[in-house]
Amino acid sequence: MGSIKGKILAINISETKGVVKQPIKTGVFKVDHGLVGDAHAGNWHRQVSLLDNSSIKKLKNLDGVGFCTGKFAENLTTEGMVLYEIPVGTKLKIGETLQEVTQIGKNCHVGCEIRKLVGDCVMPREGIFTKILKGGEIKEGDLIEVVED
Q: pLDDT tens digits, the chain, 149 residues: what are they?
A: 567 689 999 999 999 877 778 999 999 999 999 999 999 999 999 999 999 888 877 666 555 454 555 566 789 999 999 999 999 999 999 999 999 999 997 666 555 555 555 555 666 678 899 999 999 999 999 999 999 87
CB neighbour list of residue 100: distance below 8 Å, 6 or more residues apart: 89, 90, 91, 92, 130, 131, 133
Q: Which domain holds residue 86?
A: 2-147
The rounded distance, in Å, linking the Cα atoms of 27 and 24 is: 7
Name the strand (E) or helix (H) holding 104.
Answer: strand 97-104
Tell me the CATH number at 24: 2.40.33.20
pTM score of the predicted model: 0.84
How many domains would you assign to the chain?
1
What pLDDT does 5 receive? 86
What radius of gyration do the chain's Cα atoms show?
A: 14
Do residues 123 and 74 touch, judged by C-beta distance below 8 A?
yes
